[in-house]
Structure 1
Amino acid sequence: MDLAEEIDYSGPLDSRRLMPLERARHVIREALLGRGQDAEVWAALLSLEDFAELREVMASLPVHWVAELPGEMLGARYGAALVNWVATQIEDGRLVEEGWPLGAALCGSGSDRAFEVVWSLRSLHNYPTEPDESANGLVLQWLWSFPTDAFYFVASHALAGDRRARLILRSLTECHPGTVWRFLIASFSPEEVASVLASAKVEPTIKRSGILNVLDHAAASGTAWPKPMAETGSTNNLRLTAFRSRSRGDWHVVFEELQVHSVGCVRIQQYEMGSRPWPEAGPTHRRFKSLDFPHVSSKAEPASPRAARRAFAEFALESATQTTGEVWTPLHELRQMSDLGDPFEVVQVITGLGAWHEIAPSQHPAFQRLAEALAQGNFEVVDVDSNQSKNIMTKSSDPDAEGDANKVLRGRERQFSPIAGRLCFRALPALASERAEQVLRVFEDLGYPFSGPDSERFSAELHEAIRHGFTLHGSCEAAIEYSEASHGGLNYEITVNSAALADRYEAWLPRGDQMFGSYPDAMVLHVANQLGQRLKVLDIGAGNGRNALALARLGHQVDAVEMTEAFAIQIEKWAQRRSLDVTVHEVDFLKEPIRGARGPYHIAILSQVTSHFGDSEDLDSVLAQLSAQLDPGGRIVLTAFITAEGYEPDEVAREAARARWCTLYTPTEFAAALQHAGLEVELQTGVVEFERTHLPALAWPPTSWFVDWAEGRNVFPMQSPPLELLWFVLKRLS
């Protein structure tokens, strides 16, 4: 059986995947004896023509086959029969706990009655607010499959006072705010959205992580909806504008946040709305199909008081576009605001505005209002030439100490509170000198220049902290906290966050999403299928067990090696629950031997593992160990980031790649490691290309970040990075 046939049943349901009835019953009989592959058993279950027969079979099958049966396919196959049976169970006062994904099955049926069935589930009467509760997952599956109508259904009931609907809406908004907002806007006017959220006691607070919530609203309604943000120790101004291009008729949205911190730091964040077609998702979205759905990018720069005044001047004088209310946006470049990072630029995102560009800033109402506000802050406007886009804003002379008492008072009260702040950056030793120079320039701009000896001492301390942190872990971050001392000097403290890799994985688990995806690698299944049955497998860095458990379900004996305790416990729990032949070894394989290994092995797997190595020595050591534990006909299946031919990475590139979990090797370095371990390449191909071609459609991509990471864009933010994650199938030299 080739790979395409092996995973064929895992894709969307169609007639090609249904078996003849007799063959289906034979497969099921084998499954009752504990034999058979998941995809084949699922296809057999879906091939039964009588729903009653399916129910009887499912009651007898081992739980892991039933628990993982694709619910959408089940619903699409049995439709009304499934929905009516579930409804009967509910009407009789019994909840359905069969182990298979009921919500997805109901959704897959596409039946209107599924609305009533899901809504009637007794668990919804005491709807939980924790995102990992089963009722929450059930409703989520229901809402995903009936997007606009289902959200309208829930929101309408919330508006009418239904307690379940209010709890559902509140919980879903906390877990998936962007999705909730998008569907609410598709069903309600902006005023109704506010009423719906108020009825559910949901506060539409804008957070940077959820900024698409508000941007989607602006794009959908075509109106400006500014929403102030609150943050300790700062005064914030938020401006949000939706523009429609006169030349093309498409939409753009600009979100800007201007923060004036009490410590004398100005930060301007602008989110530029790029363009890609708004996806059509049913009749209710057709009126939006000419909109451009936004892709958001942001820049943020801290600045000194002096740069703050300059930024205020340019920000005001270069603002030439007015829409409604107090919403406005700059259309010209801002000069560099600070000594950190690249110069801040405002990219023109509005085209075809015609005569609006010709309005002189000083004649524009938006500029006038801002100028008046700035004048209250002791600034004055000097209009050099109304035909030029550049004007000058200067600081007025300070009030005379012998003058108006009120002016003297205001002058004192406008002073900043004591200076304090925090600077964070990746701890890359190759950039330590540049970082030290940047930080010292910031201190000088704040009014605290370091003398020669003090400067040298600070640089030495920063170099040592960065070196130490990077040695502990490549993705270490450094932070410098500074504050004004009572004696007039500047105190500072340098710290590094050097949590071990296992600790970082542990911290990921409470998020609830899969860090590696949930489906086994197509390449791993392909090699296992070629080598035969009842193989001995060693899975190094097994993660959440997606490869180890899948191979064990196929009848193979697996040793899973994982250094993260939480992952090791998770694999062991699932293996015991399904009575699978998996032995878990909780060990850091780079530092300790694997005790109790059951080799020699037919397959050794290192999927997404070498990207965490420190250097070529780690690769040499691991490959040599695995080669020694291979069966004579065995294979090593691994991924590695390999640079393009002709590209020579410098030290900054190597450290930056390691910091982003993309440890790289040149073709020459990788070939040397293979030669040292006595291995040769049997197969080499791109991970993205192979997995995208051979994984089921629903399993690709494994995570939202995977493609950019595997194609090297996490390290090199460019269209064609000189780095790619490759699959290698290795065998021992003859």
Structure 2
Amino acid sequence: MPVSESPQDIAPVTDTSRLKLALQEKLKRGININGEFHLPCVPSMLDDYLKLLSDFLKLVGQNLGNPETENLKTLLGNALAAGFKQSPHATLIVSYFPANSQTGLSGGITIDTKIQVQSMADKYHSWPQIRPEPLFGSYPDAKVMEIVAELGEPKQSPILDVGAGPGRNSLPLARLGHPVDAIELTPIFAEKLSATATAENLPVTVTQGDVLDPLLRMKTYRYKLAIATEVLSHFRHPEQVRLFLGKMSDSVLSGGFILFSTFLAVEGYEPDDMAKQMSEQSWSYLITKQELETAIEGLPLEIISNESVIEYEQKHLPKAAWPPTTWFISWASGRDLFPIQETPPIELRWILVKRF
């Protein structure tokens, strides 16, 4: 009968390369990693984020096959879309940790996702703690004051200030004698404006709310001028521009004016999805000239002027007031969105509209 070999009779492995692989595998069982990626919820960045995570997983010894890659892509795509729908300031937090803590990296890695959303009001609420005063500048906008000078008797020239902030325009206008109705989304700014107006006994009425909210009712056919400075930069859709202009046209008297600032794309530049989405994320929501014309079409409004905010304000503000803040020029020039040395293809513009 043949005699089976005992374990002692099997030749030991002495191949150092093979033994090294075994030791590396043993070592992987003792390695545990965990951490997070914080990714802005920009859906058009899906492929970039997928490559980032795939490369990272490969670095730690996790090579994804086609099915795993597709599953990860679906997971990321759904989460990015859901987060962006909630807010352009949403963040996708991708967590990674061992699937089994006892087997470390050799047992694979689990990926988990969650969406973190901070509202615009929440972001502005923290500004007084992280940005120096004055938050938006010490002087009113020169363009606003130029138009106001042509309105006539202040007491007979009520003004609507949308996105009034802490009152950079509302308070000087009220001090001239204009009745001012101010709408402000951020509670901390609305409270500050109201407190200052009350302390100075100024004709300012403050409403805390979102101008795009259908439930926010405004007085109709009352104002000689409606202003919205640095407001449309927070919008998200051309339909919101249309809604805003519709509500303004209902509020302004025939012959009155609407002044607003908005980021316009230059002629010849057609923003793609990535630029559009990141403009929302950068508080630089951009529209094209065609989108602006479409938003106004059919309304009793006519564009009177279209001017560079930087050029106009730099020319007409007192030297001590320019720039209004340390961040203004970078933002208004479009470099917050496109951080390039050359001239970006967008710019903040003053749009003056007359109601007929």
Shorter chain as normaliser: what TM range?
0.7 to 0.9
1:387-466 alignment to 2 at 5 Å? 417-466=31-80
Match of 2:345 in 1: 722
> Does the 8 Å CA contact 1:428/1:656 hold for their aligned counterparts?
yes
Q: Secondary structure in 1 aligned to 2:150?
A: helix
Give the structure 1 partner of residue 126 of structure 2.
507
Letter in 2 for 1:489: G
The answer for the alignment partner of 1:573 in structure 2 is 195
Contact 2:220 2:251 in 1 (8 A): no
The aligned runs of 1:78-117 (5 Å cut-off) are: none
d(CA) in 1 for partners of 2:145 and 2:325?
19
Q: Determine which of 258, 267, 270 is the counterpart of 1:636.
A: 258
Residue aligned with 2:303, SS: strand
Number of aligned residue pairs: 326
User: Within 2, Cα distance between the matches of 1:518 and 1:597?
Assistant: 29
The answer (yes or no) to whether the contact 2:332–2:347 under 8 Å persists in 1 is: yes
Higher helix share: 1
Structure-2 change in CA distance of 1:522 and 1:660 (3 Å): same
Question: Cα 1:598–1:673, aligned 2, differ >3 Å: closer, same or farther?
Answer: closer
Please list every run of 5 or more consecutive structure 1 residues that lacks an aligned counterpart in the other structure.
1-396, 402-407
1:603/1:636 contact within 8 Å kept: yes
After superposition, where does 1:96-495 map in structure 2 within 5 Å?
417-485=31-99, 486=101, 487=103, 488-495=107-114
TM-score norm. by structure 2 comes to 0.85
Instruction: Report how far residue 598 of structure 1 moved.
Output: 7.3
Shift of 1:642: 0.5
Counterpart CA distance in 1 for 2:312 and 2:200 is 30
Per-residue deviation, residues 537-558 of structure 1 (Å, max 9, x unmatched): 1111111211111111111001
Counterpart of 1:517 in structure 2 is: 137
- Which structure: larger Rg? 1
Does structure 1 residue 732 correspond to structure 2 residue 355? yes
Partner of 1:373: none
Check if 1:529 corresponds to 2:149.
Answer: yes
**Partners of 1:478 and 1:658 in 2: CA distance:** 16
- In the other structure, the counterpart of 1:695 is 317
Q: How much identity, in percent, do the aligned residues show?
A: 35
The one of 331, 336, 339 equivalent to 1:709 is 331
On the 8 A contact 2:220/2:250 being kept in 1, the answer is no
Local SS of the residue matching 2:259:
strand
With over 3 angstroms needed to count, the CA separation of the structure-2 counterparts of 1:635 and 1:649, relative to structure 1, is: same
* Structure 2 counterpart SS, 1:530: coil
Where 1:531 maps in the other structure, the secondary structure is coil
Question: Are 2:287 and 1:665 aligned?
Answer: yes
Q: Distance in 2 between matches of 1:677 and 1:503?
A: 34
3-state SS of 2:181 partner: strand
| C-alpha contact (below 8 Å) 2:333/2:344 kept by paired residues | yes
Is the strand fraction higher in 1 or 2? 2
Q: What SS does structure 2 have at the residue aligned with 1:670? A: helix
How far 1:609 sits from its partner (Å)?
A: 0.5
Q: Distance in 2 between matches of 1:694 and 1:497?
A: 42
Query: Using the alignment, how far apart are the partners of 1:481 and 1:609 within structure 2?
Result: 35
CA distance, structure 1, for counterparts of residue 94 and residue 116 of structure 2: 11
The answer to which structure, 1 or 2, has the higher relative contact order (CA under 8 A, 6+ apart) is 2
Aligned to 1:551: 173
Q: TM-score, normalised by structure 1?
A: 0.43
Residues 240-280 of structure 1, C-alpha deviation per residue, up to 9 Å, x if partnerless? Answer: xxxxxxxxxxxxxxxxxxxxxxxxxxxxxxxxxxxxxxxxx
Deviation of 1:512 after TM superposition, in Å, equals 5.4
| Alignment partner, residue 293 of structure 1 | none
* Cα pair 1:561 1:587 within 8 Å, conserved: yes
Aligned pairs for 1:672-687 within 5 A: 672-687=294-309
**Separation (CA, whole Å) in 2 of partners of 1:568 and 1:605:** 16
State the distance in 2 between where 1:598 and 1:696 align. 35
Query: Aligned to 1:727, what secondary structure does the other structure show?
Result: strand
Q: CA RMSD in A?
A: 2.3
CA contact (8 A) 1:559 1:598 kept: no
The one-letter code matched in structure 2 to 1:577 is: A
Q: CA deviation at 1:416?
A: 8.8
Comparing 417-426 with 669-678, greater Cα deviation is found at 417-426
State the Cα distance separating 1:451 from its structure 2 match.
3.6
1:610-642 deviations in Å (ceiling 9; x for gaps):
111011000001101111111112100100111
Decide whether the 8 Å contact of 1:684 with 1:726 is kept in 2.
Answer: yes
CA shift, 1:422, in A, is 2.0
Equivalents in 1 of 2:291, 2:267: separation in Å? 12
SS in 2 for 1:546: coil
Verify the 8 A CA contact 1:620 1:676 in the aligned structure 2: no
